[in-house]
Amino acid sequence: MAEKKTNKNHKQNQAIVRIVLMVAILICANILASYFHKGIDLTKEKRFTLSDPTKKLLHNMKEVAVIDVYLKGKFPSGLQRLQEAVRERLSSFKDLAGNKIIFRFSDPFEGKSEDEKKQISIELRQKGIIPLELRTNNEEEFTSKIFFPYALIQYNGKEMTVKLTEQLSGRNSEESISYSETILEYKFASALNMMGKPDVAHLAYVTGNGEPLGVNTYDMLSSLGHRYWLDTIDLRRGSEISLAYDAILIIQPTDTFTGPEKLKIDQYVMRGGHVLFSLNMLQASLDSLVHSPSFIAMDYRLELDELLYRYGVRVNKDMVEDIQNMQLGRTMNDGAPELHNWIYYPKINPTSEHPIVRNMDFIRAGFTNSIDTILSPGIKKTVLLQTSKYSLKAQSPVRVSLSMMNYPLKEEMFNKSYLPVAVLLEGKFRSAFTNKLAPSYLKLLHDSLHQDFKAVCDSENKVIVTSIGDAFINSYNQRDGYQQMNYYYWTKEYFANRDFLLNCIEYLTDKTNILESRSKEMKLRLLDNMRVKDEKSTWQFVNVAIPIGAVLVFASAYFFFRKRRYEIKLNEKTPSANV
C-alpha cells in the first residue's frame, strides 16, 4: 500500500512540475514575442511588408512619434476594415521602431457635451481635421454619426495631420477604401520623413515670363508652402539661379524666354538643380469663349524648344483632343447646367507604374499639347501621363469652337493612342549652349561673375516636363472665392492634380525614396452580392455545423480509442484463469 501511495504522489508531483514548466514557457515566449516579433507575409501583393526606405526611416528614428488616430468606434464594414488596416500598419511600424512609435485610437467627441464638441471641432479644423457625417440607412432605422478619418502625428517638435480616406473619382466606396489602405504606409512614412528632417527643401516659383501669380495660384502655392520653404524669383534679374533652391517651378509661361534666361535655367540644371516645367505652347483659354463662340489658338513662341530637345523631349505646338474628356457646361434659362463633352480637356488616367503616379486617381487637364521623346544619350525617359486610346492632335493654329460640343464623338475619328503629356527625364544632362557661347562671354562669366560654364552634369539629375494645361491652376470667382486645383466646377468632381504636383516635387527633392511605398498595390477581392443573398443560409449552416460536427467526431474518436486502449491494458494486467 505504501509503495502505491508513493508512486501516486510522485506522479502528482510530476504533473505539477509539467504544468508549472508549461506556464513558465508560455510566459517567457510571450515576453520574447513582445520584443522580437517576426511575421510571414503570405499575401500575393505583400500588403503587410514594408518597403526598404520605410524600414530605413523607422530604424533611424531619433525621437518618439506620438500618433493619435481619431478613427475609433463602430463603423460599416468598409471603414471597419480601414480602421483595422491602420492598426496593422502602425503595429508594423512599431515592430521596427520599438518605443519610438506610440499610437492610440480615440474619439474626440466621446463623453463630451454639445458645447465641448463645438469647441473641439473648431480646434481640430484649425489643424486640418474636418469632421465627416456618416449616414446609415437600413431596413430598421436611419442613423447619423460624426466621425474623423484622420490621424495627428507629433514628432521632432512638429505636428502634421494625415487624412486616412481617399475618394476616387468614378469609383465606388469599396474601391476607394481599398486605395486608402494601399497608401497608408506612404502617408505615415512620408509625414515622419518630412517632420524628421532638420530643414525642408527650398523651392522657387519662377516669374518674369508671364507665369500666373495671384488668386489662381493660391492653392498651388499654399499647398507647396505647407510642406516646403517656398520663394519666388524673377528670371529677368540676377546672373544665375541659386543652388540654394533644391528645385524650381516654371508654370505656364506666356512670354518668350531670352537667351540669357535660358542659359540661367540650363546652368542651374547642369549644376544639379531640378526643374518642373508645366507648359502650354498655344494661347488657349476658356475666357476667350466668353464673348465669342470660337477662337484661334496661336503659338506663344516660348523659344524653349532647343533647351528641352537637348534634355530629351519636345513639347509640340498642337492641341490634344480626347474622347475621354471633361464636360463643359452651359447654364440654361432655369439656372441648371447643361453638360457636354469638351474634347479639348482630356481626363487623364495615370497608368504608369512609376511611384509618382502609381495607383493615382484621374487628373484634370486643360488645353493640352502632346510630347515627343527624343533620342538623347544617357537620359532615361519615363512617360508619367498619357492620353486615352482614342485621341487626336490638331496642329497649330487650331480653331477652338463651342460648336464641337454638339457633335457626337466617334471612336474612329480619334486615331491616335496614348499621347504622352508628362515625362520624367533622368540622367547626366548635356548643356544646350555647348559651343554656342562667344569666348568673350565665357571670359566675362569667369572673371566678373566668377562662374564657369558647365557643359554636362557632374551627377545624375532629374527634370519633369508636363503639358497638361492649367492642371495646377485653381478657379476663382467672387461668390465662392478660390477653389482647389483638384476641383472641377461643372461636374463637382475632385481629381488628383494636387497629389501629382506634390509627388513630382517630392521625387525631385527627396533622397530617401519614401515615394517608393506608393508602388504597393492591393487587390480588391469582393464577394458576389447575388450569391451571398441566395446562398446565405447554406454558408451559415456550413460555417456553424461543420466546425461543431468536426469537434464531435474528434471527441468521439478520442474517447473510443482511449477506452479501447485502457481495456487492452486492463486485459493484459488481469491474469488468465487456470482451466
Q: Is the pLDDT of residue 42 over 60?
A: no
User: Residue 404: what pLDDT?
Assistant: 82
CB 251 within 8 A of CB 224: no
Specify the amino acid at residue 365: A
Classified as helix, coil or strand, 156 is: coil
Q: Which range scores top for mean pLDDT: 329-343, 350-364, 420-434?
A: 420-434
Give the Cα separation of 61 and 101 in Å (integer): 9
Task: Decide if 346 contacts 322 (C-beta within 8 A).
Answer: yes
Distance CA 413, CA 397 (A): 20
Strands 229-234 and 202-207: parallel
Average of per-residue pLDDT across 488-505:
90
Confidence label for 4 from pLDDT (cuts 50, 70 and 90) = low
Q: How many CB atoms lie within 10 A of CB 223?
A: 22
Given a contact cutoff of 8 angstroms between Cβ atoms, the answer to whether 430 and 461 are in contact is no
Show the DSSP H helices in 183-282 as ranges.
Answer: 184-196, 218-227, 259-270
Mean pLDDT of 392-419: 87
- CA 266-271-276 angle, to 5 degrees, is 55
CA atoms within 13 A on the CB side of 104: 6
Q: Is the peptide bond before 439 cis (omega within 30 degrees of 0)?
A: no
Mean pLDDT of the chain: 85
* Amino acid (one-letter) located at 468: I
pLDDT level of residue 530 (50, 70, 90 thresholds): low
Q: Which domains does the chain have, with CATH numbers?
A: 52-192 (3.40.30.10), 202-509 (3.40.50)
d(CA 20, CA 211) in angstroms, rounded, equals 78
Mean pLDDT of 217-221: 93
Is 70 exceeded by the pLDDT of residue 138?
no
> Which of 248, 286, 261, 173 is CA-nearest to residue 463?
248
Contacts of 488 (CB under 8 A, 6+ apart): 326, 364, 494, 495
Report in angstroms the alpha-carbon separations of 29 from 35, 293, 440. Answer: 10, 77, 78
> What is the predicted pLDDT for the residue at 36?
56
CB 354 within 8 A of CB 516: no
Q: Are strands 274-278 and 247-251 parallel, antiparallel or unpaired?
A: parallel
Higher per-residue pLDDT: 555 or 336: 555
**Would you place residue 301 in the very low, low, confident or very high pLDDT band (cuts 50, 70, 90)?**
very high
Q: What is the mean pLDDT of residues 29-37?
A: 65
The 10 Å Cβ neighbour count of residue 140 is 6
Is the pLDDT at 268 greater than 90? The verdict is yes
Region 137-160 average pLDDT: 80
- Rounded to whole angstroms, how far apart are CA atoms 94 and 85? 14
Has residue 205 got a pLDDT over 80?
Answer: yes
Cα dihedral 255, 476, 362, 246 sign: positive
Query: Which pLDDT score, from 0 to 100, does residue 37 have?
Result: 55
Q: Is the pTM of this model over 0.85?
A: no
Instruction: Considering only residues 561 and 273, tell me which one the structure prediction assigns the higher pLDDT.
Output: 273
| Contact (CB, 8 A) for 367 and 297 | yes
Provide the pLDDT for residue 546: 85
**Reported confidence tier of residue 579, pLDDT bands at 50, 70, 90:** very low
pLDDT, average across residues 220-231: 93
Q: Binning pLDDT at 50, 70 and 90, where does residue 198 land?
A: confident
- pLDDT of 91 over the 50 cut: yes
Report how far apart the first and last C-alpha atoms of the chain are (Å, whole number): 31
Among the residue ranges 118-127, 232-241, 444-453, the one predicted with the least confidence is 444-453
Q: Is 210:462 a contact under the CB 8 Å cutoff?
A: no
Distances from the Cα of 11 to the Cα of 18, 20, 21, 40, angstroms: 11, 14, 15, 41
User: Nearest 5 degrees, angle CA 565-CA 569-CA 574?
Assistant: 145
Residue with the larger pLDDT of the pair 526 and 249: 249
| Residue 85 to residue 43: CA distance in whole angstroms | 14
> Residue 102 class from Cβ within 10 Å (0-12 exposed, 13-18 middle, 19+ buried)?
middle
Higher pLDDT, 268 or 8: 268
What pLDDT, on a 0 to 100 scale, did the predictor assign at position 538? Answer: 82
More confident residue, 243 or 469: 243
CB 315 within 8 A of CB 281: yes
Q: Judge whether 513 and 462 are in contact, CB under 8 Å.
A: no
380 φ/ψ angles, rounded to the nearest 5 degrees: -90, 130
Mean pLDDT, to the nearest integer, of 516-525?
A: 64
Q: Which range among 174-188, 223-237, 244-258, 419-433 shows the weakest confidence by mean pLDDT?
A: 174-188
Give me the mean pLDDT over the 565-571 stretch: 73
Confidence (pLDDT) at 170: 62
